[in-house]
Amino acid sequence: MFDFGANIRDEGGVQGRNNKGLMTYDRKIRKDAFYMYKAHWSSDKFVHITSKRYLDRTEDAITVKVYSNCSEVTLFVNGLEQETKSADKIFIFGNVLLKDGTNEIKAVSNHDGAILKDTARFKKVIEPNPSYRAPESETGGLVSNWFHMPDLDDEDVEAGGFEISNVYSTRCTFKELLENDEARLCFSNTWATSLKTQAYQWPWECRLTLWLQWGKTCSPRS
């Protein structure tokens, strides 16, 4: 469901994390895949424009994909109605023309009198955004940074800001965790009872490590 800690991962500019979840590690951003599943599994009606984070576009015309569990979706570009489509979960609008600068794309559906809508903003630029390119020469290399958001002059963009810091991963030791007051409290509240009642079943190396780094809550036994 979420991006999660994975010790062997070292990709996308992030160490120790698998980025294939339906939501980001901090649970703040629902990725496009989340809405694809929602369109198929949820009865809660909605519309969602994909690829919002792919802001800078060099093309004169783009394809806009919309996920929705409504029967019809209408696309508006810079306030002008473009086309209405009927589809099953996935709506594809081709040859959407972009003007220079920022373009507002809006998807709208009327479900039993309720107006459902979603808005994306794409910026027509001359040069490709270098943060979208893989730094390695061969296709499929590591991506330098998927989470960098270009400056849009204070435009109100959905899901702005992707810097994730002050988090722990599976690369962290017990010592590093327990040096942080909040992490220590969380560890104590979550693990204390289990350690006191079940730690004797653990290998002696684990019990000795915890005893040395955390205290005598889990006293090693022979």
pLDDT value at residue 87: 95
Nearest alpha-carbon partner for 152 in 182, 120, 200? 120
d(CA 110, CA 45): 10
DSSP reduced 3-state for 16: strand
CA dihedral defined by 24, 27, 28, 31, rounded to 10 degrees?
40
Q: Is the pTM of this model over 0.85?
A: no
Edge to edge, the sheet with strand 90-97 lists 47-49, 61-68, 90-97
Q: Which residue in this structure is represented by tokens 């965790």?
A: 177
Task: Kindly list the structural domains of the chain, giving each domain's residue range(s) and its CATH number in brackets, ordered by start.
Answer: 1-30 (no CATH), 43-132 (2.60.40.10), 174-218 (no CATH)
Per-residue pLDDT for the chain (222 aa), expressed as one digit of tens each?
A: 888 887 777 766 677 888 888 988 888 889 999 999 999 999 999 999 999 999 999 999 999 999 999 999 999 999 999 999 999 999 999 999 999 999 999 999 999 999 999 999 999 999 999 888 755 544 445 544 444 555 555 555 454 444 455 667 666 777 787 788 887 787 777 666 565 555 555 565 565 666 565 554 444 443
d(CA 102, CA 77): 11
pLDDT value at residue 9: 73
pLDDT value at residue 135: 56
E runs forming strands in the chain: 4-11, 14-18, 47-49, 56-57, 61-68, 72-77, 80-86, 90-97, 101-111, 114-124
